[in-house]
Amino acid sequence: MTMNKTWQYIASAIFGVAVFLIWWLLYPGLSGLQEQNQLFLFTWDYFIERIVVSGGLADYIAEFITQFNYVPLLGEALIALLLVVFQRSMASSIGHDDWYMLSFIAPVMMLVYMGNIYVMLCYLVALIIAIQLCALYRRRPGIVWAGTVTVMGYWLIGPAVFVFTLYAAIRERNLKSLALVGLAVLAVVVSRWTYMEQYPWKTLVFGVNYYRMALTVPVMQVVIALTAILLPSVADTLPEVKAMGNIVVGVLVSAGGILGLYFSYQKDSAEIIAYDQMVRHEDWEGILKRAEKYQPNSELGAVSVNLALFMSGRGAEFPRFKQFGTRGLIMPRERDFISNSSSCEVFWRLGMVNESLRYAFDTQESLVNNRKSGRWMSRMAECQILNGRYDVAEKYLDMLSCSLFYRKWANDRKNCLRNEEAVMSDPIYAYLRTVRFRDDFLYYYPEMDKMLAILYHQNKNNILAAWYYKAWTVLKNNDANDETTYSGGAHGN
């Protein structure tokens, strides 16, 4: 019994809502993290930089979409929309309303897979395009255009196009199929000899920008691709199914998705990301409310929670939250794209401008796919303005002004360039100019308490430095014991 169109739309809508809720509840802040790890620019040079690499068009489209994650909840809505488009594309390529519920298998697997912070939206965009090509081939088969698409598609969307190639080859089942597979192999080989010489073979076969760790190929990436190939290919051999059959398939797919989320979900990592994004938006009370319900077992989470305590004026509640020694106040520098984030914000608010600059720079340069970051480039521009290095700040602001969501901010900050009066008229910049270190000295993390004491003694208005000094002293003396006592006062030595 065919599943009518109305029920198909209802099922797809329910799936979209479920994706949005799952992403919102289980992965808060993850879409924002993906946005801050890129900087989409509306320039011709930026487009050329992307398009000259295999899969460049899919990557460009994905980054264009990802930039909208800057707006809270919009990122989750866009992910839900893309997964619904993926599901509808799968339904078109399967072509049988009797087995409509089979079209949810690959999208549900993709939902589980995207909980991995290293998965890039480029892979989903490329798969959607490849599946749309499968649906088109189902309606209008043709070996000539399939071969052309295989070669051009490898350049434009990367090896995800081979989902279409193998689908067409399976449908043909003759010598033409071998020719298609041969063209796919030739596309990879020629790219390696010409415009992709610097990339290893493994990356060329499995995708340049599908996964942030380029030399790693997750099993799920391969399994999803094989599922997207096999389901449409075997659909014609399946018998008609009654309505109850579709319901059974839907229940099994839903159960599989729930199990996949259960076993892949990492609560601590999700909370760390959520905290850092709330630090970014200065939602101090939001951080503390989350921490009261669940305190992640990590130093990174503690950095965000402690900053929120101090910034919200609730320093006396310090003992209520799990501590991890001095590293839970300010992390030493780590070479990755997330560990330094909240500590960078701590330095900025303390007035340790150069350390904030260093952490922001290191975080951006730790992006393994060599992208820039709107969040960290903005912070670097501010640090350089405070330091009076206007030429460097101007370069950052010029780049940010070519983006969508940082454009207005960057143009406003340009008023501060070579204009001391404008700098001092900004309340934040004026405050940081007065509390930052007056003299240069060598930075040494193990003696952070001494640097915090200097900050406070040179300007008694720097209450945050006093708080951090007292907390650092307590945790340094009790580093082996999580159960610390702290008065929460706002006084220095």
* pLDDT (0 to 100) of residue 337: 86
How confident is the model at residue 173, as a pLDDT?
Answer: 80
If you ran DSSP here, which 8-state letter would residue 326 be given?
Answer: B
pLDDT at position 393 is 97
CB 433 within 8 A of CB 387: no
pLDDT confidence bin for 229, thresholds 50/70/90: very high
Instruction: Give the pLDDT band (50/70/90) at residue 283.
Output: very high
Q: What's the pLDDT score for residue 174? A: 81
Q: Which residue has the higher pLDDT, 337 or 344?
A: 344
Judge whether 54 and 155 are in contact, CB under 8 Å.
yes
Spatial distance between the Cα atoms of 404 and 59, rounded to a whole number of angstroms: 17
Q: Which domains does the chain have, with CATH numbers?
A: 5-265 (no CATH), 283-477 (1.25.40)
Return mean pLDDT, the chain: 90
Higher pLDDT: 467 or 96? It is 467
Euclidean distance between CA atoms 202 and 215, whole angstroms: 7
How far is the C-alpha of 401 from the C-alpha of 138, rounded, in Å? 45
How much is the pLDDT for 479?
A: 60
* Torsion from C-alpha of 16, 17, 20, 24, nearest 10 degrees: -160
Query: Residue 238: what pLDDT?
Result: 74
Q: Is the pLDDT of residue 298 over 60?
A: yes
Give CA–CA dist 199/374, Å, rounded: 27
pLDDT value, residue 486: 40
For the segment 400-416, the average pLDDT, to the nearest whole number, is: 97
**Torsion sign, CA atoms 284, 290, 294, 296:** negative
The whole-number pLDDT of residue 411 equals 97
pLDDT digits (tens, 9 = 90+) for 58-92: 999 999 999 999 998 999 999 999 999 999 999 99
How far apart CA 448 and CA 473 sit, in angstroms, is 10
Both tokens assigned to 130:
């490849």
Q: What is the band of 397 on the pLDDT scale with cuts at 50, 70, 90? A: very high
11-56 pLDDT tens trace: 999 999 999 999 999 999 999 999 999 999 999 999 999 999 999 9
Of the candidates 395, 373, 385, the one whose C-alpha atom is nearest the C-alpha of residue 415 is 385
Mean pLDDT of 102-113: 96
Residue % of the chain over a pLDDT of 70: 96
The total number of residues written for the chain in this structure:
493
Residue scoring higher pLDDT (470 or 238): 470
Cα distance from N-terminal residue to C-terminal residue, the chain? 79
For the cut 50, the answer to whether the pLDDT of residue 282 exceeds it is yes
CA-nearest of 19, 41, 27 to 124 is 19
C-alpha span between 156 and 58 (Å, rounded): 7
What one-character-per-residue DSSP string does 33-93 give? HHHHT-----SHHHHHHHHTSTTHHHHHHHHHHHGGGGSTTHHHHHHHHHHHHHHHHHHHH
pLDDT digit string, tens, across residues 174-218: 888 888 999 999 999 999 998 888 899 999 999 999 999 888 899
488: left (phi over 0), alpha (psi -120 to 50) or beta: left
